[in-house]
Amino acid sequence: MVVIQEDTRQKAGKHDIKHAYFTENGVKLIRCKLPFGDYAPVPPVSIDTKEDFEEIASNICGKEHRRFINECKLARDSGCHLIILVENTLGIMDVSQVHTWINPRVIYSPKCVQGDRLQKAMETISERYGVEFVFCSPEDSGRRIMELLNKWETNYFQRH
């Protein structure tokens, strides 16, 4: 199945002929705000940065869980590889080390999510949705983003 993005500024009901063609030919539309143009392919990779472990724990195990999982599903179903880049000053550089994280909120909320539970959740999300978790220090995040994008761009164009 081919997936393309359609700009949300396209007026409803004005493009039914195109939409019918897309449906008949197995093209799935994702409506989102595009910076320019009306239609675009879904990118092969997307990087979502997280400020720290508290933010990713909130996304995965907190109130934002449903939204986060829906984004993971949408990326997977669109053929886009989603990378979550977790910035941290703890030196954690791999999912296998996340269990060592101690949530600073534990002082106020003893039942809050801790590293062992967060690690298991990350592993499950990786298996189910193909999400890749990458870690770096805040100072390295710009460089890591460019490395990851360059790696994916090179791999993508070698395959196509």
pLDDT tens for the chain, residues 1 to 160: 789 999 999 988 899 999 999 999 999 999 999 999 999 999 999 999 999 999 999 999 999 999 999 999 999 999 999 999 999 999 999 999 999 999 999 999 988 999 999 999 999 999 999 999 999 999 999 999 999 999 887 665 566 5
In order of 7, 13, 147, 159, the CA distances from 48 in angstroms are: 21, 33, 14, 24
14, with CB counted inside 10 A (0-12, 13-18, 19+), is exposed
What is the token pair recorded at 115? 């590293």
Start-to-end C-alpha separation, the chain: 16
The H or E element spanning position 142 is helix 141-159
> Amino acid identity, residue 9?
R
Which pair of structure tokens corresponds to residue 34? 């595009």
Contact between 145 and 85 under an 8 Å Cβ cutoff? The reply is yes
